[in-house]
Amino acid sequence: MTLDIKLDPIESRVFGVLIEKALTTPDQYPLTLNATTNGANQKSNRDPVLALDEVEVDGALRRLEQKYMVRKVFPSNSRVEKYVHNGKDALGVDAAALAVLAELLMRGPQTPGELRIRASRMASIDTIEQLMTILGVLIERGYAQRLPPGHGSRAERYAQLLCPDLHPLDAAPSSGGAPAASDLVARVAALEAEVQRLREQLRQLADRLEA
């Protein structure tokens, strides 16, 4: 299948953030412009860390709307417009595949071990075999590609193709070591993400109690 969807770097980050927040913090989804900007700039589970302003993020959201990747909604309990991704319909894949794609958009090329653990914070991916099936679908659709092992590693890596130049493809794996070390790094990243999710839920609960 020939891929006809192309995203620029800011669109890629914003699209990945919308997928991530829909799956990890559904109570806080859809996202406002401010929440989308904060998500795009957060320091955990991002590579590289960015410092986008709301004007840049708003422009990316508008472009994503034109590409039918994002929709603007007006929830009845909200006074401001919010945004949702349209990944399932636009790309024709399920939540698990979107989780893997979001990880590749927000973190760059990764080994199967890294991908399975990191994407599992968004969707259930219990085994490497399940992950490889998901990657097979993404590759067949033209959304991802297999890369040879990076320098100093024997593990193959996978990268997204929605924005092919988003991350350097010849960079070493983020763990900088053997597959076992990469799994450890990925587990720590997943735990950090879970702590952040719990903190966000506690903050939301505190806001409701104070209201």
Separation of alpha carbons 198 and 185, rounded Å: 20
The verdict on residue 182 lying in a domain is: yes
Domains in the chain, number: 1
Residue 100 pLDDT > 70, yes or no? Answer: yes
Separation of alpha carbons 86 and 15, rounded Å: 9
CATH number at residue 60: 1.10.10.10
52 or 76, greater pLDDT:
52
The verdict on residue 34 lying in a domain is: yes
The verdict on residue 3 lying in a domain is: no
CA atoms within 13 A on the CB side of 52: 29
Average pLDDT over residues 127-146: 96
The verdict on residue 105 lying in a domain is: yes
Q: Can you list the positions of beta strands (E) in the chain?
A: 70-73, 82-85, 144-147, 157-160
Residue 97 pLDDT > 50, yes or no? Answer: yes
Closest by CA position to 122, among listed 38, 18, 11: 18
Residue 3 pLDDT > 90, yes or no? Answer: no
Closest by CA position to 87, among listed 100, 73, 74: 100
Average pLDDT over residues 196-201: 66
Query: Whole-angstrom distance between the N-terminal and C-terminal Cα of the chain?
Result: 51
Per-residue pLDDT, 176? 37
The verdict on residue 186 lying in a domain is: yes
Per-residue pLDDT, 113? 93
The verdict on residue 4 lying in a domain is: no
The verdict on residue 1 lying in a domain is: no
Residue 116 pLDDT > 50, yes or no? Answer: yes
Separation of alpha carbons 187 and 207, rounded Å: 30
Range of the domain at 146: 9-205
Average pLDDT over residues 172-189: 47
Residue 183 pLDDT > 50, yes or no? Answer: no
DSSP label of 97: H
The verdict on residue 197 lying in a domain is: yes
